[in-house]
Chain A
Amino acid sequence: MTLAVFFGCAFIAFGPAFALFVFTVAKDPLRVIILIAGAFFWLLSLLLSSLVWFIAIKASNSQDLTLQRGLLIFGVFFSVLLQEVFRFAYYRLLRKATEGLAAISDDDGSAISVRQMAYGKLCLCSAENSLVLLGFMLHSGSLDGRFDQMSLCVSCAVAGLGFGIMSGAFSMINILSDSLGPGTVGIFGDSQYYFIITALMTLALTLLHTFWGVLFFEGCEKSRWWVIAAVVSLHLLVAGLSLLNPLYEGSLPPVYGITLLMGVWAFFSSGGSLHSLNALCTRRKAEGESS
């Protein structure tokens, strides 16, 4: 039973993320780096928010359980806000790197001499030049080597996926290793569905982070601040819904509803349309008929 639960929950929680990784990220080294850097930024945000929570815990009375619970809830919301701040920071980093690249590539095309850059610029050690070089380095490994709108959009999806994977891994991995056993779920009266609900929530959050990544970056690009506010407030809403948690009916369906909504919004926001969906289906049908 334990091995079945382990594999079941692992596939539920990480299956779609893994599929996304294999089909979109793994073939381009640039995207792998963006993914890992996204995971790193999420980790940094978690670190800072845990630091704040830890200080609050240590400064308070450890016997008072309601206070501890209150501090944990505060920790949850603070962490959500900090994650969004770091998402913004990552957006700025990616943007600066690719902007610098685009500025240089205009003259020379995609092959750039490092020495030209070195001698032309003032100081190679400045952070800005490092970012330019980072951008060049990253993009020279990419498939088409040029920066364009499409690649920024893909980068934001990949960044969101990085956030999602790391968030999911941190929530799920310890629980997965515990689910290998031995043990009995709910022996003290807790819910029996602990593992599967955790897996489902992790899946939802991974997908949500990906969609939020796309929306957030689009919002920043086009300076639509209401999109950013919507993303942040929806993240807070999802975290708040999870606070209802032993009452799974109250948390899981709304979260999945929000996930679907975000998915549709991200799809249309990044340039998809009903027409392209239709074309995809008919082309597939046509190919199926012809073969």
Chain B
Amino acid sequence: MNTSDSEEDSYNERSALVQCESPTIPSYNQDHDMSLPQETDTKRRRPVSSGLDEPGPVERERASTPDGEEEELTLKYGAKHVIMLFIPVTLCMVVVVATIKSVSFYTEKTSQRLIYTPFEEDPNSVGQRLLNSLLNTMVMISVIVVMTIILVVLYKYRCYKFIHGWLILSSLMLLFWFSFMYLGEVFKTYNVAMDYPTLVMIIWNFGVVGMICIHWKGPLRLQQAYLIVISALMALIFIKYLPEWSAWVILGAISIYDLIAVLCPKGPLRMLVETAQERNEPIFPALIYSSAMVWMVGMADSSNPDSADERQRNEGGALAQEGVESEDDATQGGRRRYSAEEDLEEDRGVKLGLGDFIFYSVLVGKAATTGGDWNTTLACFVAILIGLCLTLLLLAIFKKALPALPISITFGLVFYFSTDNLVRPFMDSLAAHQYYI
């Protein structure tokens, strides 16, 4: 199946959660600087923040100062935020692994390939296979680099509508076409008879609600659920259509690319972030998972209705300028609310790009594909979670945008290969004799 270009972006962004207090801190997001409709959650969540960033780990004290002039950043972010990311990552992986283990469609190898991996892997010759997988990786990474550069260029020249349209097209494809395919395969597996009218209604509702939740407004939990589902769908597509060895090499190469793109001074992601900083605009893509807790409940009580209305009006608003102004009003309400409820949950969560969800799930899904061994899957799962934990720790130390892929993917790859080749025979022999260690 030839997939269109529009879904490239959905895995183009990488994450990084950052301490976002000062407007100068880069929040990291690659593709979409959709400052517009996606702003909804950010604005709703953090009306007091400066217009720029994504919530990163928390500062409650900062929440009360309108201009973010806090000097001392109290680190209140901790285990809670790690868990707020563990849960969605785990859910996405569980969905992918459950699908792989039950629906055989995603593990059947076909001769169809993505246009991004044009070289066929010949199972007979090891050298040829390795060479082809390296070439596939190079093609894929270069496609991603080109897309990112195009995005940065578009952003620099303020072609927001184009980016917006691109993004909507890609989420349309994910929400309608891929979920239709997925549902079809699940029905085939469980031999469920389904008629087209019912199916059309289900898919239509699912897709439309998804588009609304992701691109406009919706309950936070629903939006999170949709983001998890589309990441899982995308990961399943990769698992199906990437050739065996190419998939592993691509995983490794993507984490190196992520590292370079986010940390090097001339990296595209860094440039994107710096451009956004210069313009004092929020970069807010639709494809970022945010785990912030909703604090609207408190807001309704103590804030004045005007600021609430104004904020809502601005949620669909066009300019970042307006956004900043409305935040000033909202900060009054915010401060009142904050003083009223000292021990309310933090209103900032952490954000993780969907690309990270996708690649973590690809790794665990591919581990689940190999044979009937669950130990490998479990080992990769634990490795990825620990990598995420370490990344968040580094985030607390360095306090700037960081790539979330390298550490987790490295641990995941190491554990995959070592568990598959070393631990599996050992545990199998132990189980055969019923020895316990």
A residues with a Cβ closer than 8 A to B are 28-30, 32-33, 36-37, 39-40, 43, 46-47, 49-51, 53-54, 57, 69, 72-73, 75-76, 79-80, 83, 111-116, 124-125, 129-130, 133-134, 136-142, 166-167, 169-171, 173-175, 177-178, 194, 197-198, 201-202, 205, 238-239, 242-243, 245-246
Contact = CB atoms under 8 A, between A and B. Distances in A.
B386 A170 contact: no
24 contacts: A29-B80, A32-B83, A40-B386, A43-B382, A46-B423, A46-B437, A47-B422, A49-B437, A51-B422, A54-B422, A54-B426, A72-B435, A80-B437, A111-B76, A114-B399, A137-B75, A137-B393, A140-B79, A142-B79, A178-B372, A194-B434, A201-B434, A205-B436, A239-B437
Contacts of B379: 43
A139 B426 CA distance: 37
B173 to A, nearest CB: 35
B383 A40 contact: yes
Given A36-B382, A130-B393, A136-B78, A29 B373 contact: no
B74 A137 contact: no
B382 A245 contact: no
A202 B434 CA distance: 11
Given A76-B437, A79-B437, A174-B374, A136 B418 contact: no
B83 A174 contact: no
A137 B434 contact: no
A201 B76 CA distance: 42
Interface in B345-386: 372-375, 378-379, 382-383, 385-386
B433 interface: yes
A253 to B, nearest CB: 15
B393 to A, nearest CB: 6
A204 B399 CA distance: 44
Contacts of B383: 40, 43
A51 B422 CA distance: 6
B3 interface: no
Given A40-B383, A167-B437, A242-B436, A72 B429 contact: yes
Given A29-B82, A33-B389, A79-B437, A50 B374 contact: no
A60 to B, nearest CB: 14
User: 7 closest A-B pairs (Cβ-Cβ)?
Assistant: A141-B79, A141-B78, A29-B79, A29-B83, A140-B78, A242-B436, A50-B426
B375 A174 contact: yes
B419 interface: yes
Contacts of B433: 69, 72, 245
Contacts of B385: 36
A130 B397 CA distance: 7
Given A37-B386, A46-B426, A137-B79, 6 more contacts: A47-B423, A76-B437, A83-B437, A124-B397, A124-B398, A129-B397
Given A36-B385, A141-B78, A245-B433, A116 B72 contact: yes
Nearest to A241: B436
Interface residues of B, number: 49
Interface in B379-437: 379, 382-383, 385-386, 389, 392-393, 396-399, 415, 418-419, 421-423, 425-431, 433-437
A53 B437 CA distance: 13
Contacts of B180: none
A237 B430 CA distance: 16
B245 interface: no
B86 interface: yes
A246 B425 CA distance: 20
A167 B435 CA distance: 12
A138 B79 contact: yes
Interface of B: 71-83, 86, 372-375, 378-379, 382-383, 385-386, 389, 392-393, 396-399, 415, 418-419, 421-423, 425-431, 433-437
Nearest to A111: B74
Most-contacted residue by chain A among B71, B392, B429 (CB, 10 A) = B429
Contacts of A115: 71-73
Given A29-B80, A36-B385, A47-B422, A112 B75 contact: yes
Contacts of B421: 54
Given A40-B386, A47-B418, A242 B435 contact: yes
Contact of B427 (A138, A174, A177, A201): A174
Nearest to A238: B436
A242 B434 contact: yes
Contacts of B392: 137
A47 B397 contact: no
B78 A137 contact: yes
Contacts of B393: 130, 133-134, 137
A175 B436 CA distance: 13
A50 B423 contact: yes
Nearest to A235: B437
Contacts of A37: 386, 389
A114 B73 contact: yes
Given A40-B383, A111-B74, A201 B436 contact: yes
Contacts of B399: 114
Given A40-B382, A133-B397, A173-B375, A198 B75 contact: no
A136 B435 contact: no
Most-contacted residue by chain A among B399, B422, B428 (CB, 10 A) = B422
A255 B207 CA distance: 55
Given A47-B415, A76-B430, A113 B437 contact: no
